[in-house]
Structure formats: structure tokens, C-alpha cells
Amino acid sequence: VAQASRPYHHGNLRSALLAQAERVVREHGADELSLRELARQVGVSHSAPRRHFADRQALRGALAEAGFERLGTELQAAAGGAEDSVAARLLATARAYVRFATRDAALLELMFASKHETESAALDAAAERAFWVILELIQRGQASGMLAAGEPERVGLLLFSTVHGIAALYTSGMLPPEQLDQLVVDAVEHFVRGQRAADGRPPAPGC
Amino acid sequence: VAQASRPYHHGNLRSALLAQAERVVREHGADELSLRELARQVGVSHSAPRRHFADRQALRGALAEAGFERLGTELQAAAGGAEDSVAARLLATARAYVRFATRDAALLELMFASKHETESAALDAAAERAFWVILELIQRGQASGMLAAGEPERVGLLLFSTVHGIAALYTSGMLPPEQLDQLVVDAVEHFVRGQRAADGRPPAPGC
DNA sequence: ACCTGAACACCGTTCAAGT
DNA sequence: ACCTGAACACCGTTCAAGT
């Protein structure tokens, strides 16, 4: 779809609004989001966005959905990296999660704040896809015997909660940046150790 | 300080506004907070709150501070309950944290969203007091030899992150209520097990 | 199908003025 | 010291009308 002569007034207003909204959130926070100013910055009338986003909440929902999609992609890339052990992959994935939080703190807050307002199925799917990355790693770890057997969702939720908690604490300003990576390392180490010890068999062959 | 004849126009406007704000947050969410409507509900002019809260952020900060104070009190009560073992106390405290999240989800979100906007020292102190409850329990567990030695803040942050992560996931609607308590139990069990195994000595005397 | 412009009811914030 | 009322510049949302 070429847009050489600027078809009508903006070509693809929806994605232009989303891109600008993402910029505003990153630079000024989610509270600063204003439909009218967004329209102004993009060069359309204040009522033009209405065709693409029913209301303010719909825009935030779309923003959250895009955020979860990007988060999922980044987690997937980290999980499928060059590391050999599942433990190393888990650490890389956890670090990718926290990296997202440091780079897009306000967006992460928005992603987990939009709640079930709109009950958007697309948002739920995008969020679950991000969670699946961790789930798959755990299943692989269990299959290789490196992690104790157990319901993957239950133990996956445990790790996810911890990593998300670290990220949430950081975006709230309650965690000094110097302690951030150390905490992530501790959390993954602690997780792997705990999941090993959960097994009925002795933790080491020579015990 | 008797207020039999209604001193001037409202007696104690500040606490009346805070109480009403807490109610609005609980019933309609933090986004619904409006200084003008608060003033209306309390029966003063829309500019009266200005004397007590410099702006909208100041009100939110005061709300967050009160929230952290209440959270600290509830955690302290749970930590000092009838349980005998430190592990049982840790579980009771974690449950109290999650109970706070289920009863005041929007307030908890606001508490961790106010960020360092105002740099309020009182808010920081109230937040740290809540964290200290967990810290003290861990120190006690380490002293009794039930938990491995280590920097209490570092390992305390680990547990705090996990419990807060569970609460945050719940308030975001990403955790079905039926799984909530099970996850808390898993988390505390996993934590205690991991902290035991971290010790260089064998996990059980008869190993 | 997509966008505009006027209109409405609401905000937060400020400031002179009242008691 | 504490509160009021008018004023200002902003919102989100709606709706008839334009292209």
C-alpha cells in the first residue's frame, strides 16, 4: 500500500497515534497521555482518534497489547540464545524482563494496570504469550531432569511472580538500580536450587 | 479537641478528605480520584483542599503513605501471631500482604505507582517500615539456625519481591483468585527450602 | 470510510477576597 | 489560619456535518 501522495489526510492514523502514544508514555509517563494532545501532535482534529479508539481506555489497552507483544518477543529471543543450560536460559530471560522494565518502566506499569477494563481477548493472548516463554523453559528443564517434576504452570507462576515483583519494585522506585541485577541473579539461582531440592531424590549424587 | 459546635466550617478537613479519598479509591479505583468531587462530597468549596494538599499528587502521596502505614501494621500483627516456627510466621505475613491486595487492590497499585514524584520522606519511611517486618522475621530465622546465614536485606528482598509480585499479578487481574493462596503457600515453602539448602551443611541431619 | 468543528460537562490550578 | 468564588486553560466524549 504505497502512500506517495498522502491518500487522504494521514494514511494510517491508528499506528501513528500508537507510536506517538508510546513515545509520550516513555518520556512523560502514562498519566500524561491525552487523546487531544496526541491528535494535535499527529496533526489531526481532536475527534479523529475516535474512529480508531473508542475512548481513552481503548488506546491504553492497545498500548498494553503492543507492549506485551514486544515483551514476548524479547523474552523469546533471550530464552533461545546461545546459552547451553536451562538455568542460564532462565537467567537470560529474567534479565530480559527486567531490562524491559528499566527501558520502559511506565509502559510496563500501564500493561499491568489496564486490568480487565475492556476484557480484551487480544490483550490476554499477548500477555499469555509472554508467560509461555517461561513456561516452555521450565518444561524443558523438567524434561531434562534438571528441574523437579511438577505442574509447569504452578512452578512457572512462582518464577514469573518473583521476576515481575522485582520489575514492579524497580519501576516503583523502591529498588536502587545497583541492586537490580544482583537480585535477578539471586532470584534465578534460588529458584533453580529450590526446584532441584524439591525432588525426592538427594540433591547431589554423592550425598 | 472537642468539636461540639463545629468550630468553623469543617473541623478537620484534611482527614475527612483522606477518608473519603480512600473510599473512592476502594470503590471506583485510583483513576476516579478528583479533587473537585472530593471537596463536593465533603461539603467544602473546590479550592478548600489546596490548604491541605498542594496538588493532586500530594493527595495521592498522603494516601500512599497511609496505605503503607496500615500495611505495616497488618504485617506486624501477622508476623507476631500465635505461630511457633519462623516458617509459619513468614507464611502468615505473606498471607497478610496478599489479603491487603485483595481488599485494597487499587490502593496497593497507587502505593507502588506514586513513584518518587514528591520525594516524600514520610512515604519512604512508611514503606520501609512495612519491609522491616519481613526483614526482622528473616533475621530471627537466621539466628535460630532455621535459615542459612546471609545478608538479611538481600534475601529479604527476594521474598518481598515474590510476595509483591504475586499481589501485583493479582491486582492486575492476571491471577485467578482460586490460585492465589496456593501460590503464596508455594512461594513461602519454596523460599524456606531454598534458604535451607543454601547452607553449606547437609539439608537434614540424617543425610 | 474517515475526518472536522462546535458543544457540553467536567477537570486542576491560581488568586483576590472574605471570615 | 482557613475557606470561598470567579477565572483560566485544559480535558474526554458526543454529534451533526463535511469530503
Render chain A in DSSP notation, one character per residue: ---TT-SSS-S-HHHHHHHHHHHHHHHH-GGG--HHHHHHHHTS-TTGGGGT-SSHHHHHHHHHHHHHHHHHHHHHHHHTSS--SHHHHHHHHHHHHHHHHHHSHHHHHHHTTSTTSS--HHHHHHHHHHHHHHHHHHHHHHHTTSS--S-HHHHHHHHHHHHHHHHHHHHTT-S-HHHHHHHHHHHHHHHHHHHHHTSSS-SSTT-
Q: What is the pLDDT of residues B60-102, one digit of tens each?
A: 999 999 999 999 999 999 999 988 899 999 999 999 999 999 9
| Separation of alpha carbons A74 and A45, rounded Å | 35
Q: Is the pLDDT of residue A185 over 80?
A: yes
User: Which residues lie below 8 Å from residue A71, measured CB to CB, with a gap of 6+?
Assistant: A97, A100, A108, A111, A130
- Which residues, 6+ apart, have CB-to-CB distance to B163 below 8 Å? A165, B94, B97, B98, B134, B184, B187
C-alpha distances out from residue A142 to A76, A113, B158, B202, Å: 19, 33, 23, 24
B168:A168 CB<8 A: yes
* A161·B173 Cβ contact <8 A: no
At residue A17's C-alpha, the angle toward residues A13 and A23, to 5°, is 150
Burial of residue B8, with CB atoms counted within 10 A of its CB: 0-12 exposed, 13-18 middle, 19 or more buried: exposed
CA of B99 to C1' of C11 (A): 34
Assigned C-alpha cell, A100: 524491559
Nearest to B172 among A112, A190, A194 (CB): A112
Residue A83 exposure: Cα atoms within 13 Å on the Cβ side: 15
Confidence band of B150 (pLDDT split at 50, 70, 90): very high
The overall average pLDDT reported for chain A is: 90
Q: Which residue has the higher pLDDT, A17 or B204?
A: A17
Question: How far is the alpha carbon of A147 from chain B, nearest alpha carbon, in Å?
Answer: 13
Between CA A173 and CA A175, with CA A174 as vertex, the angle to 5 degrees is 95
Chain B residues whose C-beta sits inside 8 Å of any chain A C-beta: 109, 112-113, 115-116, 127, 154-155, 157-158, 160-166, 168-169, 171-175, 179, 182-183, 186-187, 190-191, 193-195, 197-198, 202-203, 207
What pTM did the predictor assign? Answer: 0.92
pLDDT of residue B207 exceeding 50, the answer is: no
pLDDT at A143: 95
Contacts of B179 in chain A (CB under 8 A): 157
**What residues have CB less than 8 Å from B78, skipping those under 6 apart?**
B89, B92, B93, B95, B96
- Measure Cα distances from A157 to A99, B166, B180 in Å: 20, 9, 10
Q: Above 70 in pLDDT, residue A111?
A: yes
Residue A17's nearest CA partner among A1, A34, A2, A38 is: A38
Q: Do B112 and A174 touch (CB under 8 A)?
A: yes
Residue A202, pLDDT above cutoff 90: no
Query: Residues B150-161: what's their mean pLDDT?
Result: 96
For cell 526482622, name the residue: B136
Give B125's contacts (C-beta < 8 A, 6+ positions apart). none
Measured CA angle at A85 (ends A93, A95), to 5 deg: 20
Residue whose C-alpha is closest to residue B66's, from B98, B31, B100: B100
Q: What is the mean pLDDT of residues A177-186?
A: 97
Report residue A144 as a C-alpha cell.
531434562
- CA A110 to C1' C10 (Å) is 24
In percent, the amount of chain A with pLDDT more than 90 equals 82
Per-residue pLDDT at B132 exceeds 50: yes
pLDDT greater than 70 at residue B203: no
pLDDT band at B11 (very low <50, low <70, confident <90, very high): confident
A202/B207 touch (CB, cutoff 8 Å), yes or no:
yes
Using a CB-CB distance cutoff of 8 angstroms, which residues of chain B are in contact with residue A198? 190, 193
- Residue A134 pLDDT > 80, yes or no? yes
How distant is C1' of C10 from CA of B187, in Å? 46
Give the model confidence (pLDDT) of A66-104 as tens digits.
Answer: 999 999 999 999 999 988 899 999 999 999 999 999 999
Of B164, B197, B198, the CB nearest to A169: B164
Contact between B85 and B146 under an 8 Å Cβ cutoff? The reply is yes
Output the furthest CA–CA distance in chain A (Å, rounded): 75
CB contact set of A152 (below 8 Å; sequence gap of 6+) = A135, A138, A139, A142
Report which of A118, A115, A130, A9 is spatially closest to residue A66, judged by C-alpha positions: A130
Which residues numbered 12-71 in chain B sit less than 7 A from strand D, measured from CB? 13, 39, 44-48, 50-52
Burial class (CB in 10 A: 0-12, 13-18, 19+), A145: exposed
Instruction: Identify the closest residue of chain B to A186 by CA–CA distance.
Output: B158
Q: What is the DSSP letter of B150?
A: S
User: Is the confidence at residue B8, as pLDDT, over 70?
Assistant: no
Contacts of B174 in chain A (CB under 8 A): 112, 127
- How many beta carbons lie within 10 A of that of residue A70, not counting itself? 17
Quick check: A161 and B162 CB within 8 A?
yes
Q: What is the pLDDT of residues A12-36, one digit of tens each?
A: 999 999 999 999 999 999 999 999 9
Nucleotide minimizing C1' to CA distance for residue A50: D13
